[in-house]
Structure 1
């Protein structure tokens, strides 16, 4: 096995000779075999070995295992970094996942503190088969069926699994041949855990049918990883051609997306969600993905869907965005008295007597107002707002839809209303068409509007 391991390391160029590596060692057969194989690489391939160990304090034997590893590393001159998982931190449920989280957090700390660029773990072909089976029965995205990657980024380092081509039996044969000391984890016999049930019952049956089941699983994972890498490259190019990335988020041209075939649109959206959400720890359920696709394909001009965290998709006529929802900003209302001027967003708004000269470059609305209607209120639109016309009223929501004003812009629009909520002007969109004959109880004013250009 040493020759095969040596050829594997050389072929994939897993690390330059002399590179510091951090080897995760549990003292089980797999990690002890990995240590021995690394130690017996030729100088032209051998890394600089550092060892990391976590005592999870879940078994009494863990004290003996830690003591053994301390002596073993000292005898070989390898630095050893170890810690304990506090018993008080053990959860009542989900112990396996919590232990893994603690373990890998410690690995990351050691890598960063000692500037070690590579982390090695002893995952092998049988682990690959078990992981693929677990993810297959659990369901989810096809990318998860790639199971355990030979290498992947980990924090600021690279996580490498150099034993993936080798089966559990090959490793056990090597340990026996080399007479290596190792410790069996008795919890591996607990069939209450899904992985152990697969290991004890399902995998042996599969190997009865096909002895090379583990090797075939590794080969399929490699093929799928290659296909997905090519797909990711193509989808990234398509995403850029059909829109552009925001900081953070994405802006997509609907015309370009709707010209894609159904399959391509699905793959493009999957890649986009992976880059934006999954990569930042925000899961996306298949149901949500289906809803997003349905909204993008539908004839509805506008719509939005909430995603994980604060992320959301907003569709608006000719484009859509996937981005975090902006924080709600509470904008105060303004009061406009005769003879005063107010600045609301880009708008300069004044109310003056009709006898005064109209400023150049301004728009004007003639209004007759009673004292009870003052001061005028400058605010954002509200549900149910209507604009008076010569023959009735028109809902402002309908006006905005007819003019295809995007939803995000609608929330920023300003309007002017009386104290009785009679809307006089939806700024930048439409003004009211009031029929105001001269009345003795009202005063003739002019609303003066000017937009400031940046």
Structure 2
């Protein structure tokens, strides 16, 4: 079988070359197609024989006048596989930046795709994760390419035998210490006996990716940059898009994602309770308030809700000239700032009054009412409206200090 790269010969490509069969076939193909390349080799310092990988690759690069970068990784703590992957990406992107190219190439092939999909199914993922990997992936300003993804390990073996490609076998690939190796050695061979399984994995990957890409495009259309949205409009979305909107929010606030967590959030949003505070992470909460859903960011010392910059302190040190004291016995934190909502009520010592009626009595112009900052706790009790109202019915045991940062 003839292996084609189908890449623009005018670009410069950064190749990750390990010295194994896959990456050495990739290296040879780029030389044959006369692409401008830079080769990067990582020594994970896990095998004494890794020095021979460096010697083999360095010699080939010198023979073909190819720029070569040899990098030793020093990983002593944590998940070795994950840490190594992140460090490789970091160095590859640094080298791509050095050569002013966005293109980074790895030697992943069709068997790798099947292994990745099985790993995702075992560990759990979302629809995009279940698609495995794509031939082209953009990460920030970089473009990761996998031109061998249409070809099987057998195809690469055939190419190696045909053109007598030199390579070195990584002995750690023969062990069963890692999940990928166990899948490669024990599961994939059984599946290959049953059917043309690799082509089915490829079709599954393509379909899962296309479905995921469409759903994500719909999620991005729905979700504004401030992550605030109408609950009614959200519940009108297809359930698959609802799932992805919540997943997208969790991504943006850097919170852990799981199907269980997403289903819990959806259950809360479908609840008949008008006001709910949902914890997304240590610093982020999702607030459901009647028809509005929004995200707030909290910290140990104060809570902020940008762009209005509500500031809160529990002591009087370092306060600005303009602030208010709010006395209370108990408050439902976090406190946040929002615009007025239908049904808002104010509390007075004589009883309650609708905010709408209060603003009319105060002769606040109609066009200004929707611009007012309304400070509330997580139960949506109105605490303060700057220049207009302060809640004085909350008790006197504790004091906090509120101000709007200019």
Question: 1:407: Cα distance to partner?
Answer: 3.3
Residue 231, structure 1, aligned to residue 239, structure 2: no
Find the partner of 1:245 among 218, 225, 243. Answer: 225
Residues 198-247 of structure 1 show CA distances to partners (whole Å, capped at 9, x for unaligned) of 1111110000111x21122112101221122222223333x15xxx321x
Question: 1:140: Cα distance to partner?
Answer: 2.7
Paired position in structure 1 for 2:289: 316
Change (3 A) 1:389 1:236: closer
- The 8 Å contact of residues 23 and 51 in structure 1, kept in 2 or not, is answered as yes
Question: 1:192: Cα distance to partner?
Answer: 2.4
- The 8 Å contact of residues 117 and 132 in structure 2, kept in 1 or not, is answered as yes
Change (3 A) 1:412 1:330: farther
Find the partner of 2:69 among 66, 81, 86. Answer: 81
Find the partner of 1:285 among 258, 261, 269. Answer: 258
Paired position in structure 2 for 1:23: 15
Change (3 A) 1:64 1:219: same
Question: 1:427: Cα distance to partner?
Answer: 6.5
Paired position in structure 2 for 1:114: 99
Q: Distance in 1 between matches of 2:9 and 2:83?
A: 35
Aligned length: 350
Paired position in structure 1 for 2:232: 255
Structure 2-normalised TM-score?
0.77
Paired position in structure 2 for 1:353: none
Question: 1:379: Cα distance to partner?
Answer: 2.0
Q: Distance in 2 between matches of 1:73 and 1:171?
A: 21
Residues 414-438 of structure 1 show CA distances to partners (whole Å, capped at 9, x for unaligned) of 89xxxxxxxxxx9727778xxxxxx
Q: Distance in 2 between matches of 1:406 and 1:431?
A: 13
Question: 1:143: Cα distance to partner?
Answer: 2.0
Q: Distance in 1 between matches of 2:245 and 2:147?
A: 31
SS at structure 1 position matched to 2:261: helix
Residue 67, structure 1, aligned to residue 52, structure 2: no
Residue 168, structure 1, aligned to residue 145, structure 2: no
Question: 1:138: Cα distance to partner?
Answer: 1.3
Q: Which has the higher contact order (CA 8 A, sep 6+)?
A: 2
Paired position in structure 2 for 1:295: 268
Paired position in structure 1 for 2:364: none
Paired position in structure 1 for 2:170: 185
Change (3 A) 1:19 1:389: closer
- The 8 Å contact of residues 108 and 155 in structure 1, kept in 2 or not, is answered as no
- The 8 Å contact of residues 39 and 68 in structure 2, kept in 1 or not, is answered as yes
Find the partner of 1:383 among 327, 330, 349. Answer: 330
Residues 23-50 of structure 1 show CA distances to partners (whole Å, capped at 9, x for unaligned) of 1000000000011112222xxxx53111
Computed over aligned residues only, the root mean square deviation of the Cα atoms, in angstroms, reads: 3.3
Q: Distance in 2 between matches of 1:64 and 1:283?
A: 41
Residue 104, structure 1, aligned to residue 86, structure 2: no
Instruction: Show structure 2 runs of 5+ residues with no match.
Output: 304-311, 333-346, 359-373, 394-405
Q: Which has the larger radius of gyration?
A: 1
Instruction: Show structure 1 runs of 5+ residues with no match.
Output: 10-14, 335-341, 346-377, 416-425, 433-453
- The 8 Å contact of residues 316 and 407 in structure 1, kept in 2 or not, is answered as no
Q: Distance in 2 between matches of 1:384 and 1:312?
A: 16
Structure 1-normalised TM-score?
0.69
Q: Distance in 2 between matches of 1:82 and 1:179?
A: 25
Residues 69-117 of structure 1 show CA distances to partners (whole Å, capped at 9, x for unaligned) of 111101011101111113xx323x5322222222222112211222221
Change (3 A) 1:343 1:19: closer
Q: Distance in 2 between matches of 1:256 and 1:185?
A: 54
SS at structure 1 position matched to 2:166: coil
The list of structure 1 runs, each at least 4 consecutive aligned residues, that deviate by more than 4 angstroms after superposition, is 331-334, 342-345, 387-390, 403-406, 408-412, 429-432
Residue 38, structure 1, aligned to residue 30, structure 2: yes
- The 8 Å contact of residues 284 and 308 in structure 1, kept in 2 or not, is answered as no
Paired position in structure 2 for 1:145: 130
